[in-house]
Amino acid sequence: MGRTIIEKIIEAHCGHAVHPGDIVDVTIDARVARDFGGTNVVKNIQQHGLGIADPLKTYFTFDCNPGGSDQKYAMNQHICRMFAREQGISVYDINSGIGTHIAIEQGLVVPGSTFVSTDSHANIMGAIGAFGQGMGDQDIAAAWAHGSVWFKVPPTVKLILKGMPGPSATAKDIALAILQTTGANGLLGVAAEVYGDIVDSLTLAERITIASMNTEMGGIILIFPPNRHVVEFCSQARGHFVKFVHADTNAQYSNELVVDITDLEPLIARPGHPDDVVPVTDVAGTKVDSVFIGSCTNGRFEDMKAAALILENQTVAPGVVLKIVPATDTVWQQCLDEGIIHIFKQAGALVGNAGCAGCANGQIGQNGPGEVTISTGNRNFSGKQGQGNVYLASPEVAAASAIAGVITTMDNIPATPAVFTSSLSAGKQTGVPTDTTSSTSEKPTQITGRVWVIPQDNIDTDMIYHNRYLAITDIAQMGQYTFDNLDGWKDFAKRAKPGDIIITAKNFGAGSSRQQAVDCFKSLEIPLIIGQSFGAIYERNAINAGLPIMTANLIQSGIQNGQTIQVDLITGEIKNMDTGETFQGQPFYDVQLMIYQRGGLLT
pLDDT at 427: 41
Residues contacting residue 61 through CB under 8 Å, at least 6 positions apart:
32, 33, 34, 35, 92, 96, 98, 99, 102, 117
**CA distances (Å), 503 to each of 348, 353, 460, 562, 568, in order?**
49, 43, 15, 11, 15
Q: What pLDDT sits at residue 199?
A: 97
Q: Return the higher-pLDDT residue of 35 and 288.
A: 288
What's the whole-model pTM score? 0.86
Give the per-residue pLDDT at 442. Answer: 67
How far apart are alpha carbons 536 and 135 in whole angstroms? Answer: 9
- Rounded average pLDDT over 343-359: 92
Contact between 483 and 504 under an 8 Å Cβ cutoff? The reply is no
Tens digit of each residue's pLDDT (9 = 90 or more) over 354-409: 998 877 666 787 888 899 999 999 988 887 777 889 999 999 999 999 999 999 99
> Packing angle between helix 137-146 and helix 35-47, nearest 10 degrees?
60
Angle in degrees, CA 86, 90, 91, rounded to 5: 100
Residue 138 main-chain phi, psi, to 5 deg: -70, -40
Map residue 554 onto helix, strand or coil. coil
**pLDDT one-digit tens code per residue, 465-523:** 998 888 888 999 999 999 999 999 999 999 999 999 999 999 999 999 999 999 999 99
Q: What is the pLDDT of residues 556-597, one digit of tens each?
A: 999 999 999 999 999 999 999 999 999 999 999 999 999 999
pLDDT of residue 337: 98
Please compute, for residue 473, the number of CA atoms within 13 A of its CA located in the half-sphere on the CB side. 20
Distance CA 454, CA 526 (A): 14
pLDDT tens track for 72-85: 788 889 999 999 99
Q: What is the percent of the chain with per-residue pLDDT over 70, rounded to a whole number?
A: 95
Round to whole Å and give the CA distance between 291 and 321. 6
Largest CA distance in the chain: 72
Mean pLDDT of 409-436: 62
What strands lie across the sheet with 501-504, from one edge to the other? 549-551, 528-531, 501-504, 446-454, 564-568, 573-576, 582-584
Side chain identity at residue 290, one-letter code: S
Cα angle: 194, vertex 200, 204; to 5 degrees: 85
pLDDT of residue 385: 78
Q: Work out the percent of the chain whose per-residue pLDDT is above 90.
A: 87
Sign of CA dihedral 179, 378, 96, 325: positive
pLDDT digits (tens, 9 = 90+) for 230-252: 999 999 999 999 999 999 999 99
Structure confidence at residue 360 (pLDDT): 66
Cβ burial of 490 (10 Å; 0-12, 13-18, 19+) is middle
Q: Does residue 386 contact residue 367 with C-beta atoms inside 8 Å?
A: yes
Task: Give how far Cα 207 sits from Cα of 102, 230, 466, Å.
Answer: 16, 10, 30
Question: What b/e readout covers 216-225, taking b as 16+ CB neighbours within 10 angstroms?
Answer: bbbbbbbbbb
Is the separation of the CB atoms in 459 and 273 below 8 Å? no
520-560 pLDDT per residue, tens: 999 999 999 999 999 999 999 999 999 999 999 999 999 99
Q: What is the enclosing helix (H) or strand (E) of 269?
A: strand 267-269
Q: Rounded mean pLDDT of 339-358?
A: 94
pLDDT at 441: 52
The DSSP-derived string for 193-234 is EEEETTGGG--HHHHHHHHHTTGGGT-SEEEPPP-HHHHHHH
Q: Alpha helix (H) ranges present in 240-300?
A: 280-283
Q: Is the dihedral of CA 128, 130, 131, 136 positive or negative?
A: negative
What whole-number distance in Å separates Cα of residue 474 and Cα of residue 240? 46
Distance CA 452, CA 503 (A): 6
Q: What is the pLDDT of residues 119-158, one digit of tens each?
A: 999 999 999 999 999 999 999 999 999 999 999 999 999 9
pLDDT digits (tens, 9 = 90+) for 407-422: 999 999 999 999 865 4
176-235 pLDDT, tens digit each: 999 999 999 999 999 999 999 999 999 999 999 999 999 999 999 999 999 999 999 999
Question: How many whole angstroms separate alpha carbon 166 and alpha carbon 169?
Answer: 6
H helices of 409-528, where?
A: 461-464, 475-478, 492-495, 516-523
Model pLDDT, residue 431: 39
pLDDT at 298 over 60: yes
Lateral strand order in the sheet of 58-61: 90-92, 58-61, 30-34, 114-117, 131-134
Q: Is residue 118's pLDDT more than 90?
A: yes
Q: Report the alpha-carbon distance of residue 542 to residue 137 in Å, rounded.
A: 11
- Domains within the chain, CATH numbers bracketed: 5-260 (3.30.499.10), 267-404 (3.30.499.10), 446-598 (3.20.19.10)
Q: Give the C-alpha separation, 57 to 30, whole Å.
A: 5
Which helix (H) or strand (E) covers residue 565, if one does?
strand 564-568
Q: How far is CA 534 from CA 176, 231, 285, 379, in A?
A: 22, 35, 37, 18
So what's the pLDDT on residue 424?
Answer: 39
